[in-house]
Structure 1
């Protein structure tokens, strides 16, 4: 494993890191590692195309016909 030294960090950031680490029962160093891992190695977001492809097939076009107030149906082809 490599070591990482971060210099010239504002004291407010250090205090916030320590406070956050304390909330989760971790050391500041462990919290720092978790934040870096989350920010840099989190899963890639899906593209719009991938998101659309993941939508399950929910029915046929006729399931989504719109019935107008006059009783006529609009068919989308």
Structure 2
């Protein structure tokens, strides 16, 4: 996993992040990861897998029905796109 270093952080900003991390019960590093992730994650992002699982729970799919979906799933690797 990549790492990064942020230089020349003003003292007030560093202090505020330390306080915020303590309020959330996280280390400063974990708080920074949370802040960065929140800043770049699109608002209202829908995760397809979570959405499908929720739909399955709502319509109460049985294990037998889920097995049917798994058995007909195409697992063939997709071909690379050709732009020529």
TM-score (norm 1): 0.54
Pick the structure with more helix per residue.
2
Instruction: Kindly indicate whether residue 17 of structure 2 is the aligned counterpart of residue 17 of structure 1.
Output: yes
Moved over 2 A (4+): 42-45
Alignment-derived partner of residue 30 in structure 1: 30
Shift of 1:42: 3.1
The structure with more radius of gyration: 1
Count of residues paired in the alignment = 45
The whole-number CA distance in structure 1 between the counterparts of 2:10 and 2:39 is 20
What runs of 5+ residues in structure 1 fail to find an aligned partner? Answer: 46-77
Q: d(CA) in 1 for partners of 2:42 and 2:18?
A: 22
Distance 2:23 2:44 in 1: 28
Shift of 1:41: 1.5
